[in-house]
Structure 1
Amino acid sequence: MTDMRRWVWAGALLLLCLFVYFLHPILSPFLVAMVLAYMADPLVDRLEKLGLSRTWGVIVVFALFTLVFMIALLVLVPLLAKQFVRLYELAPQVLDWLQHVAMPWVQAKLGLADGFWKFDKIKAAISEHMGQTTDIVSMVLSQATASSLALIGWLTNLALIPVVGFYLLRDWDIMMAKIRSLLPRHREGKIVALAGECHEVLGAFVRGQLLVMLALGIIYAAGLMLVGVELGLLIGLMAGLAAIVPYMGFITGISAAMITGLFQFGADPYPLMGIAAVFLVGQMLEGMVLTPLLVGDKIGMHPVAVIFAILAGGELFGFAGVLLALPVAAVIMVLLRHAHDLYKESDIYGGQEDPDL
């Protein structure tokens, strides 16, 4: 009977994997809505404690999310669009500077052969595209409207997110209670304990790490804009997003900012020192304030595991896989930790050797 139950669980897990694999093109809005509901559930619970009903708590939270989204849409998106256009315009000039200023300096310092790195083809390709169009927004829209069905599907998925998220958030506690009621009675305590540990890890990542990324993006962007870096907002926000992998945001951000600073300010040391100071302050705040306060030590995922999980999820299931990758990896990490403890307590690990062998 025990073997039969194991086969049933293995078959259910296989069916779940097949379900996700074959339906991943339509799962993205549901996964995004689930992540948003999971993140907002503690806030709705607090509003319930203050006397609001569950439905009104969800409405208040959705109103706050909508307000923040509209502010970002009205303020941040136009600024980012201008910086993308400026980056598109500056790309040939940056390549020209790398070819005629930066690379000759590296060549002279390292004693490399003449013409060891040429940018002519890259620069010509970018210039050719710039000659075709100077309006990036029009180019993106033309690609999006090339397939009306794809555009309608994308807009439908976007509209589904708040609708699905509202119902999931409203009925979150009810769904959790029903799931718990379906657990085997003799295993309920163990499963609930494991689920609680997974919840701590997921909460630390989904809420804590995303808040750390947001805070770092704001710190980097504000600091670079105060220094006067022309693409400071774009570089800062990209560095914040890259902070999902430890130290990746710092490395990519300071590299891009230094290259931009050298191109913009030349050999003037003070702006470059300012750029370095921005990222050093951001790194110190992340290590001493943001991560201990918002994340703690519950995740414990190695940076290599984070990179592998993201790449594997994207390769297997596309965008839906990227959304699922780290939460699934965090749960697997918790289960492996318990499997490791069981192995250490088992006779396989600590049993004595048979003298007859």
Structure 2
Amino acid sequence: MKESTRWLWLAGLLLTAWLVYLLLPILSPFVVGMFIAYLGDPLVDRFERWGMSRTWGVVVVFALITLVTMVALLVLIPLLGKQLMRLYELLPQIIDWVQHSALPWLQLKLGLSDDFWQFDKLKQALSGNLGKTTDFVGLIVSKVTASSVAVVAWLANLFLIPVVGFYLLRDWDVMMAKLRGMLPRSSEKRIVGLMGECHEVLGAFLRGQLMVMVALGTIYAIGLMSIGLELGLLIGVLAGLASIVPYLGVAVGVSAAMAAGLFQFGVDLYPLLAIAGVFIVGQMLEGMLLTPWLVGDRIGLHPVAVIFAIMAGGQLFGFTGVLLALPAAAVIMVLLRHAHVFYKHSRAYGVEEPID
């Protein structure tokens, strides 16, 4: 590539990055719609192979997405809402138990002073607000209605997601073919190879890990509720969502479930062993069945890299950055792997060999 061409590409990339930064406030529905199109494209392609038109395949996929969403809204959301309200009601009792049961035991074991923990002010604040849920909801409603423009914009973005996702999914293959046709002929093979690796890593992570999250959340929630844990559904769902980062889900789930179990059952050994058993079974199923079957071994994203990517994306670009964090991390990982190979065959490393 000539020097002038390189500078032209660099200027184009910088201009694109600047435009993306300026358009961040309106990008969320388009990013979510792109994710829907990316995740749904293989299923639509399968429907096409079965003789269905592209448009009708997209309609079927969106009908399935709508059905799952409605089930979640009608069944799961109300149950989680009830558990959140129950947790809000139990908070003063939990703090009282921590202050008069858990902390004295911990102070005895660690040799801490008696006034090391001070929870009186927090308990008083929670107790004073308990029973004022109506006022709390009214405050939220008043804040929301006071910023009607923001509410309208949020609703518009929410409505745009399925519209953008539908059209992107319908024209996905056409857009990919046009983008490939715009690539420089001399570099097409290498760029397509890189994008193929990015697609393999990203597709395996997004589709596989999302299914693993849903499966683990279901296993944890059913298991915890079956042993009588009052907040079992809420903890199971949180543990499933945290499973986006390997091992974080089980750490969050075990910690929260054991704390809830100690509060509800006391030091009774059998319920605590049952809680531990739920997460042991979940981890065994994840390691031996779910991850090998749904995700495979082509991800290559280290757990620390996943955590850093999500935090960095949120810090730099807010909610849109969180959505783009994992795709960007997957692409960067593939590019770094090829850069490492290029460096090992370069004069800077000490050995200059041709790269295929």
What CA distance in whole angstroms lies between the structure 2 residues aligned with 1:229 and 1:134?
Answer: 27
For the pair 1:234 / 2:219, whether they are aligned, the reply is: no
Which is further off, 79-88 or 100-109? 100-109
How big is each residue's C-alpha offset from its partner over 1:299-344, in whole Å with a ceiling of 9 and x where there is no partner? 2112221111111111111100000011001101000000100111
Partner of 1:316: helix, strand, or coil? helix
Deviation at 1:142, TM superposition (A): 3.8
CA contact (8 A) 2:33 2:164 kept: yes
Which residue number corresponds to residue 106 of structure 1? 106
Partner of 1:38: 38
CA RMSD of aligned residues (A): 1.5
> What letter corresponds to residue 45 of structure 2 in structure 1?
D
Aligned counterparts of 1:126 and 1:92: Cα–Cα separation in 2: 6
Displacement after TM superposition at 1:11 (Å): 1.4
Q: Partner letter of residue 122 of structure 2? A: I
Counterpart residue number, 2:141: 141
Q: C-alpha deviations, 1:2-53, integer Å up to 9, x for none?
A: 1211111211221222122121111001100100110000000000011110
CA distance in 2, matches of 1:10, 1:144: 43
Q: Where do 5+ consecutive residues of structure 1 fail to align?
A: 353-357
- Tell me how far apart the structure 1 counterparts of residues 166 and 51 of structure 2 sit (CA, whole Å): 20
The aligned runs of 1:66-215 (5 Å cut-off) are: 66-134=66-134, 138-215=138-215
Structure 1, residues 55-95: CA drift from partner, whole Å, max 9, x if none?
A: 00000111111111111110001101100100111111101
Distance 1:316 1:338, change over 3 A: same
The percentage of counterpart residues that share the same residue type is: 68
Shift in Å, 1:140: 4.0
Amino acid at match of 2:245: V
1:287 aligns with 2:253: no
Moved >6 Å (runs of 4+)? none
The within-5 A match list for 1:249-288 is: 249-288=249-288
Find the counterpart in structure 2 of residue 355 from structure 1: none
Secondary structure of the residue that 2:130 maps to in structure 1? Answer: helix
**Structure 1 residue identity aligned to 2:196:** G
* Unmatched segments (≥5 aa) in structure 2: none
Q: Deviations over 1:224-274 (max 9, x none)?
A: 111111111111111111111111111111000000000001111111111
Displacement of 1:288: 1.4
Aligned to 1:307: 307
Cα drift, residue 109 of structure 1: 2.1
How many residues matched? 352
State TM-score, norm by structure 2.
0.95
Whichever residue aligns with residue 21 of structure 2, its letter is Y
Alignment check: 8 A CA contact 1:133 1:139 kept? no
- Deviation readout 1:145-197 (Å, 9 max, x if unpaired): 23111111111110000000000000000000000110111111111111110
The amino acid of 1:57's aligned partner reads G
Q: Determine the C-alpha separation between the residues in 2 that align with 1:316 and 1:129.
A: 35
Change (3 A) 1:115 1:349: same
Equivalent residue number for residue 349 of structure 1: 349
Contact 2:345 2:351 (8 Å CA) reproduced:
no
Asked if the contact 2:313–2:322 (Cα under 8 Å) also holds between the matched residues in 1, the reply is: yes
2:326 paired residue number: 326
Alignment partner, residue 51 of structure 1? 51
Residues of 1 paired with 2:104 and 2:78: CA distance? 37
Tell me how far 1:132 sits from its aligned partner: 3.6
The 8 Å contact of residues 217 and 237 in structure 1, kept in 2 or not, is answered as yes
Structure 1 residues 22-37: aligned runs within 5 Å: 22-37=22-37
Retained in 2: the 8 A contact 1:31–1:320?
yes
Q: CA separation of 1:252/1:17 partners in 2, compared to 1, >3 Å: closer, same or farther?
A: same
- SS in structure 2 opposite 1:253? helix
The one-letter amino acid of 1:130's match is L
Conservation of the 8 A alpha-carbon contact between 1:21 and 1:316: no
What is the TM-score when the length of structure 1 is the normalising length?
0.95
